[in-house]
Structure 1
Amino acid sequence: MSVDTDDVGEKMYKDYVDSVQEDGASFIQISKNMFVVNGWDAKRKRSKDAWYHIQQSNIGPETVYVCTCPSSNADGIDCVHEYLLKEYGVELFPGDSIPGELLLVGFVQFLTKYGDIDENEVVLFSRLLNWDDSEDIFLNHFSCPSPHKIGLTGRVVVTYEGDDEGNGRWNCEKDSGPCLHVGSCRKKFQQLVQGDPEAQDTNRGEDSYSSKKANAAGREKSVSYQKRPPPLWAALPGDLLVQIPPATSPPVRLTLDPTSSCSCSDVRYMFQPFQPILERPATIYGLVEAYPTTIEIQTCICKHRFIGPDCASLGIFNYNNKVLFTHEILDEYTSAFTTSETPFSAWVEVTSRRYILRGGTFCSADIFRSAWFAYARLLSLEDDMICPKCGPSPENTIWDGVTLAFNRKHLLPSLEPPTISQSTSISRDTTRYIPNQQLLPDSLSRKLIIKVVDGPPLIFGAGLNDQSLKNLMQEEDAMQEEDVEDVEDEEEAGGKASKQMKELLGRLDAVPLTVSRLAGTNPPLSRFFERHFGTEAIVTSKVAPDVYKRFFLQISADESVLQMANQDALKTLDHFITSPTKQDASALINIPVLHNLLAYEFSVSNLLHEDVMAVCCWISERGRLVLGWLNGTIQPLSEKDILITPEKPWTETGCCYGMPKIRDRPTYPKLKFDTRPEASGKRGAKCSKFYSQYGEKKLTGGIMCAWCTHSICYGFHCIPKGEGRNDVFSALVTRWERPPKRVIYDFACALGPYCMTREPAFFADTQFLIDDFHASGHTKCAPAAFLKTYCAVDPRLRHINSSAGECGNSGISRIRKSVSYMSQDRAIVYTKVFVSIWNRQRIKGM
């Protein structure tokens, strides 16, 4: 039988057939109609490490061949595996000789002939002795069905490298960690090893799985290991690193020296001058073309890798002693993806076209991707997460959650955001929720004030009597007397007028009740309210200035009094109470609503009314009382809380800040919902701001970033699932020796109470403010929660770029798509490099 191989290339197909016949490429039958094959690299004429399944099916008179490799598609173009099965299937795999399972007797392997294997069974189809025969380590490959899928698409390849006890590394091509596929294969492996179909796998150590992360890290271990300087265009004056000139003419020979090593383990095996030296050809990829070279290598004691030169002084990165790159081309990609959205595949395609102009070929996207990540881990990108103007403890920090997320299936146990408490964490056993923290504890009084004050002025005479109330009454009487033909219009107009009338009458009725309720709380406050909004003011048509309206709306806010006046503001207020002068009143910029009220009072008269002073004393007393409740028996965070255990690498934890970790997040046993995620994306019961960006695409919760007003990122951490107030709180507590003066966050209205409940002494002087960009979404929040309220009384705050987080967010959006497809460890490194380059460009601009 012969086939037309024009579509796949006759030469390529012939090379593949020769390789299969010479056992260079595997083509293994695992059931009557199912086969397992290696991937095929047509350029290098060799098989790949990847495995694929191919199925032969009879549909009517036609025999159909379908392969899962990338070269097979639905356009009628077959891959080399399908062509080989069409041409040589009958010869290589006769129907009367169907293989069974690969059985193990001692260390001997053979195929049984007892019939076809069930399509839903696990099959051990390959077992090869590893390099070191003395350790009895084998490399085993399984074809495993999925529990919820059948046929071709349901089978995956599981790899196990280790001894026959199950002590080794397991890896599933689809899932990470101890998945169902690995569990099925472990059980099957023991059945085959023990020769007992009822055998079970009893050895399940924690270190017996090799996830995709471990494999990726293994591929990204390079022969080069010495630190590399940042690109010249991103270098800072303080780097003090020797810049290596571009390798425009790479050497034709790369020699071993004392810095040469092998990448087989973290503890590197170095060059031995008295051991034999070998030579092999290698390729150095430059910016526009590749250069052939000869590289000296030396056999390592691991016996499957080689010691090679580091090449740092030559401006060359040695990935695996075969493929090397100039720093110039690796930095070129760094420049590209930090400037605009540039995925690896697109950049490699552009570079490949540039190579074609020189008559050469570039490496594959997979090789370059792995090499770049190995190179990125060696870049000296330190000391770039602190603003030179704001310093290590900026007064103003802007926090923003960014939807920079990877798929949840790549989550690893090593991810450790600051929200996780440790065994060394102190326990705050006395912390509990404190109710009724509002300035006005009586909820009915708060509602009554809002009902009376919020709306058009309540006035008689030229107001309600002549315009509003009189007109409304006349309209209602006229509608009852006139014969209106359009009944629907009559009902609509009459209903609207009646509703307005009821609202006005309801507000009027609420005035005396409000005065009475306030008298029970604070008599001076009641008299102050009655003077501006009471019955006498309404009858005499006295319209209260807006400054009084804003004041009463603020004191009736359904939020903690400490949002209006924190500890620092209360100190300023106490000073004013002892010295009630106009100058001291102007210093109350931390309580804008009171500052404006006093400024107006002083503009009318040089002496303040005694009720006004009494109200100021009441605000101070109430604030001190609530602050005392929160402090309770909680001791402030001190030196004894400093972390003793060393911090884990940020490449594993996904927590990377410019400041070192100084303590673990405390625990709060009495707070029932302390670390529970906020459900359904709802960001607070009393705030109308909602988020629905996370979880819908099976992604992680993105990252939390801290920014200064100059758009310098002070650090970030990965969020496993859903952004919340705990992310900002935990990052501040674990990294900041003293908290910022202002924390600007899109959910600051709820972040403030969250932080003050847990660490009131630590956050007592901190203002929690909503940035201008998100202020419009907080329709139920009082003005004391908005940054713009404070900017109105303190012009010095106008320099605060409250949108710094949004600016950084827009920049980070360049890598959002690329990160969404990455594994956890790569996503962390990719994000760190981007943030460092972002910061360095802005610091250089300063």
Structure 2
Amino acid sequence: MSVMIYKQNFALHDKARKVYYRPTVGDCSCRYNFDGQDYLLFNLDNKRFFYYGLLFNYLHLMIEGRNPLIAYQRSLHRTYTCFGESTTPSIHFLRRAWYAFSRLLAIPIDDSFACESCGPCPEIIVCDGTMIGMRKDLMMPMNDLDESKLVPVKGSLHSDRVLIKTARARYLLLQYSCFKRDRKPVACPQKLTDKEFKQLTEILHSDGFVALEKLLLKIEDQHQERLAPVPYRKFLSEIARNSPACGMVQIAGCKQACDVLKRIANRSIDVFLPENACHWSLLSENAPVISSFLLLCQKHCSSGIPQEVFDLLSHILVTIQAPFKISEPDKCHYPEPSEANKFSYFPSLPQLHGNAVYQIDKSRLSTANDVCNKRSSKHPALTPGIFTIYCPHAICYGFEVLKECESPRHPFQIFKTRFPKPPKIVVYDNACGLHQYCLNREPIFFQKTSFFCGPISLERAYRLPI
């Protein structure tokens, strides 16, 4: 029988060879075929044999140098060609040999998807999608969830989470603060007209934001101009955004920080006194936006921080805690874990329950409230990619094949259905949209989770000081 033997680069004299079988002992007519094991040869299909050293060589190149298989095959072809050989293994047979060989390796794959430092359920998550698509026609259909038997879960409302509910008031206040929407100061700020300032205060009064209305009127009496003083500009620009107050100041899950802010608003403690340094440190760590604002007011206000500022802080604290005043959903709202999902792999995070049905998804406001979605286009034949989650030590905890374009729904479903308790910190390039998505559906579950976003890569996220 003629066979082809492929060895390492330094053993290029091997060409097609003839091998023989030998009869077995006994009366039967069975025969013992050549399998190559005595010569450290891996038998692919009884016609092609690969030297184990060649396969192990690629194994170490893949691990240490991240070499793809096609690059290894090209290097073999060039090396063989330099020595006048034409028996280079094709990429087709080399791939088959590698896949068959890798199945024989005793690799604890499940153990490699967990970090020794973070444990089976990490508290800090770095997640993102990658564009590694697969053919859509090869995906097996999955049974859809029967939503008629589930009671919809009610989340919080966007109007209860923002400080200023009217878009016109937010626009005027942002102009008054001398900042742009991208958080950059305006080079040549324009003052509000008397009509615009009056309109701003009237809207604030009608929306129930009397604390901010009184502060703006006090500033006007003191400075006689329609531009915010320097100490107030940055803080007022943050209030003017259409973002949740609990996102601007992420202290809803920290009872100690909320108590400190409440005592500051009630003027029961002075955080600038040396004996209250621990309270100031706690506020600076958990609410840097407020601590920076109070520090600027303390430095620039000669007569002390106005009472209207403390009233404003009280209103902000109430708005921060508003989304979490609802009751936690019962277990009956969540279905049993679905059938084994062949398109997701989380060895240390098995599915605890299925995906619930949410009231906001039943309403027409779902698309309007779930803002900050990524803009992406679909491939006609390939899936959008896979969604991965990592710990800060660059250990992948699993992945899920994206059947649709990436959106905040994918990390939300992973955290809610697989994590017994939510992570404390989530780093995601669309964290603003993910935070809104979570508050619309499961505000209680994600109350103690802090979301961080930015145009960062996974490599930079691993080195964040968190």
User: Is TM-score (shorter-chain normalized) higher than 0.5?
Assistant: yes
**1:395 Cα deviation after fit:** 3.2
Q: Which residue of 1 aligns with 2:29?
A: none
Match in the other structure for 1:286: 7
C-alpha separation in 2, matches of 1:636 and 1:620: 30
Matched residue count: 425
Q: Residue 737 of structure 1: SS of its match in structure 2?
A: coil
Match of 1:362, as an amino acid? T
**Partner Cα distance (1:445, 1:599) in 2:** 26
Report the Cα offset of residue 685 of structure 1: 7.6
Equivalent residues of 1:439, 1:622 under 8 A apart: yes
Pair 573,633 (structure 1): closer, same or farther in 2 beyond 3 Å: closer
1:587 to 282, 291, 297: 282
Counterpart of 1:552 in structure 2 is: 236
Are 1:663 and 2:386 matched, yes or no? Answer: no
Counterpart in 2 of 1:573? 258
Equivalent in the alignment of 2:132:
404
d(CA) in 2 for partners of 1:600, 1:392: 44
* Mapped pair 1:527 → 2:214: yes
Q: Kindly provide the CA deviation profile for residues 280-314 of structure 1, in whole angstroms up to 9, marking residues without a partner as x.
A: 6655533234585556799xxxxxxx999795x98
> Match of 2:91?
365
Amino acid at match of 1:412: M
User: Equivalent residues in 2 for 1:155-170 (5 A)?
Assistant: none
Which residue does the alignment assign to 2:114? 386
8 A contact 1:562–1:623 mirrored in 2: yes
1:596 partner amino acid: S
For the 8 Å contact 2:129–2:406, the answer to whether it is kept is yes
Alpha carbons of 1:307 and 1:655: their partners in 2 closer, same or farther (altered >3 Å)?
Answer: farther
What do the CA deviations read for 1:517-558 (whole angstroms, capped 9, x no partner)? 3345243332223333x254135x99622x421211212211
Verify: 1:725 aligned to 2:412, yes or no: no
Equivalent residue for 2:175?
A: 451
Tell me the amino acid that sits aligned with residue 447 of structure 1. Answer: Y
Counterpart-to-counterpart distance in 2, 1:324 and 1:519: 83
- Partner Cα distance (1:425, 1:755) in 2: 23
* Secondary structure class of the residue paired with 1:672: helix
Q: Is residue 354 from structure 1 mapped to residue 92 from structure 2 by the alignment?
A: no
How far is 1:575 from its partner?
A: 3.3
CA distance in 2, matches of 1:438, 1:542: 23
Alpha-carbon offset, residue 655 of structure 1 = 1.8
Match in the other structure for 2:293 = 597
Report the Cα distance in structure 2 between the residues aligned to 1:558 and 1:611, rounded to whole angstroms.
22
What's the counterpart of residue 128 of structure 1?
none
Shift of 1:663: 2.0
Q: For 1:634, give the aligned amino acid.
A: P
Deviations 1:140-195 (A, max 9, x none): xxxxxxxxxxxxxxxxxxxxxxxxxxxxxxxxxxxxxxxxxxxxxxxxxxxxxxxx
Question: What are the residue-to-residue correspondences of 1:22-421 with 2, within 5 Å?
Answer: 283-288=4-9, 289=11, 290=14, 316-336=41-61, 339=65, 342=68, 344=70, 347-355=72-80, 357=83, 361-379=87-105, 380-382=107-109, 383-409=111-137, 411-413=138-140
Q: In the superposition, relative to structure 1, how do residues 350 and 394 fare at CA in structure 2: closer, same or farther (>3 Å)?
A: same
- Determine which of 412, 420, 442 is the counterpart of 1:737: 420
Equivalent position of 1:131 in the other structure: none
Q: Distance in 1 between matches of 2:36 and 2:156?
A: 59
1:646–1:721 Cα change, 3 Å: closer
CA–CA separation in structure 2 for the residues paired with 1:633 and 1:440 = 26
Contact 2:179–2:237 (CA under 8 A) maintained in structure 1: no
Amino acid across the alignment from 1:751? L
Tell me, in whole angstroms, the C-alpha distance in 1 between the residues paired with 2:348 and 2:147: 20
SS in 2 for 1:324: strand
**Residue of structure 2 equivalent to 1:715:** 398
Give, in whole Å, the separation in 2 of the partners of 1:315 and 1:601: 78
Identify if the C-alpha distance between structure 1 residues 455 and 703 changes in structure 2 by more than 3 Å, giving closer, same or farther. closer
Equivalent residue letter for 1:742: I
Q: Assess, with a 3 A threshold, how the Cα gap between structure 1 residues 321 and 350 changes in structure 2: closer, same or farther.
A: same
Sort the Cα spacing of 1:739 and 1:384 in 2 relative to 1 into closer, same or farther, 3 A: same
Q: Deviations over 1:449-499 (max 9, x none)?
A: 12322359xxxxxxxxxxx9xxxxxxxxxxxxxxxxxxxxxxxxxxxxxxx
Residue of structure 2 equivalent to 1:654: 343
- Give the conservation status (yes or no) of the 8 Å contact 2:131–2:384: yes
Which structure has the higher relative contact order (CA within 8 Å, separation 6+)? 2
| Alpha-carbon distance in 2 for matches of 1:671, 1:377 | 46
Q: Quick one: distance in 1 between partners of 2:452 and 2:253? A: 15
Residue 358 of structure 2 contacts residue 441 of structure 2 at CA under 8 Å; is this kept in 1? no
Residue 323 of structure 2, aligned match among 613, 616, 626: 626
CA distance in 2, matches of 1:612, 1:725: 35
Alpha-carbon contact 2:155-2:442 (below 8 Å) kept:
no
Greater strand percent: which structure? 1
Instruction: Give the letter for the 1:754 counterpart.
Output: Y
Q: CA offsets per residue over residues 561-607 of structure 1, 9 Å max, x none?
A: 22223421565122332363423233123322112112334456897
Q: Which whole-Å CA distance do the structure 2 matches of 1:606 and 1:320 have between them?
A: 89
> Equivalent residue for 1:510?
196
1:423 Cα deviation (Å)? Answer: 7.1
Q: Unpaired segments of 5 or more residues in structure 2?
A: 25-31, 181-186, 272-276
**Aligned AA (1:287):** Q
Distance between the aligned counterparts of 1:605 and 1:310, measured in 2?
90
Cα displacement string for residues 55-96 of structure 1 (whole angstroms, at most 9, x for unaligned residues): xxxxxxxxxxxxxxxxxxxxxxxxxxxxxxxxxxxxxxxxxx
* Deviation (angstroms), 1:719: 1.1
- Note closer, same or farther for the CA distance 1:804–1:636 as it changes in structure 2 (3 Å cut): farther
Secondary structure, counterpart of 1:623 in structure 2: helix
- Alpha-carbon deviations, 1:678-701, whole Å to 9, x = none? 9xxxx99854x7533x42564210
What SS does the aligned partner of 1:738 have?
coil
SS in 1 for 2:312: helix
CA contact (8 A) 1:636 1:761 kept: no
Specify the SS of the correspondent of 1:729: helix
- 1:426–1:563 Cα change, 3 Å: farther
Q: In structure 2, give the amino acid aligned to 1:439.
A: L
C-alpha change, 1:424 and 1:684, in structure 2 (3 Å) is closer
Instruction: Say which one has the larger Rg.
Output: 1
Shift of 1:329: 1.8
TM-score, length-normalised on structure 2? 0.75
Does the alignment pair 1:762 with 2:445?
Answer: yes
Question: Are the counterparts in 2 of residues 665 and 733 from structure 1 also a CA contact under 8 Å?
Answer: no
- RMSD across aligned positions (CA): 4.3
Aligned to 1:749: 432
In structure 1, what is the Cα distance between the partners aligned to 2:195 and 2:23? 94
Conserved? CA contact 1:385–1:712, under 8 Å: yes
> TM-score, structure 1 length as denominator?
0.44
Q: 1:350 offset after TM fit, Å?
A: 3.1
Per-residue deviation at 1:765? 1.0
Which of 618, 629, 635 is the equivalent residue of 2:330? 635
C-alpha distance in 1, partners of 2:321/2:360? 23
Letter in 1 for 2:321: R
Q: Is the 8 Å Cα contact of residues 574 and 620 (structure 1) preserved in structure 2?
A: no
**Aligned-partner Cα distance in 1 for 2:369–2:101:** 44
Partners of 1:508 and 1:455 in 2: CA distance: 20
**SS of 2:125 mapped into structure 1:** strand
Contact 1:402 1:702 in 2 (8 A): yes
Q: Is the 8 A contact 1:637 1:762 kept in 2?
A: no
SS at match of 2:421: coil
SS at match of 1:369: helix
Q: 1:561 to 1:705 in 2, by over 3 A?
A: same
Task: Show the 5 A alignment for 1:829-840.
Answer: none
Q: Distance in 2 between matches of 1:396 and 1:428?
A: 31
